[in-house]
Each structure stands twice: as C-alpha cells, then as structure tokens.
Amino acid sequence: MKALVHVTVKPDVLDPQGRAIQRGCASLGYRGVRDVRQGKLFEIELDAPDRAAAERLLLELAAKLLANRSSRTTGWCRSRTERGNRSSSWRIPPCPSNLSC
C-alpha cells in the first residue's frame, strides 16, 4: 500500500517560507495570491494488512518522526492499494495522549 502524508505548518505558527513565496508571487504580478503555507508531502510504501493497520502505523510515524507537533500538523493521508488500484483518503487525527508528541 502506498500512502501520501501531507504535513503543514499550524495556522497559528508563523511561516516565513510561505510568506516569502507569497511575496514572490506578488512581485511576479500574481496579485490574487493572498496567503501561502509551505508544507511537505511524504510518499510512503507500507506493508500493512488493512487500512486500520496502515492508519495506526502512519499516525505513529507522523507523531514521532514526520511532524514536529509543536509547530506542524499532519493534514491528510491518501492510500492506494496495489491490488485493484483502489484509493481512499482519511484525515490523520491529532496525536493521542498515549504517544509522546
């Protein structure tokens, strides 16, 4: 199973890189760009028997490795199975209290 995990800066945290991109858009004449939030997209190939196992693994990876939970948030995950090429999407919930985030 392949999964895409989108990590972005939390709305209440300053995003200087996003702000620089927004100013760059304005200097190039793209006046309609009001705000830019910079993020990262991780493509992860998993050996998980089902969606529930994949969700547990991705939640733990997001909490412990992919996102600094004090300044970044994990937005969503999209998975694609190799068998049948089915696709599904889900939001990764906030870090549970039993994980040290």
- Does residue 96 fall inside a structural domain? no
HEC profile of the chain: CEEEEEEEECCCCCCHHHHHHHHHHHHCCCCCCCCCCCEEEEEEECCCCCHHHHHHHHHHHHHHHHCCCCCEEEEEEEEECCCCCCEEEECCCCCCCCCCC
pLDDT digits (tens, 9 = 90+) for 57-98: 888 887 788 877 666 666 555 655 555 555 666 565 554 444
- Does residue 17 fall inside a structural domain? yes
Q: Which residue has the higher pLDDT, 87 or 38?
A: 38
Domain containing residue 71: 2-90
Q: How many domains does the chain have?
A: 1
For residue 98, the model assigns a pLDDT of 45
Look at residue 33 and tell me whether its pLDDT is greater than 70: yes
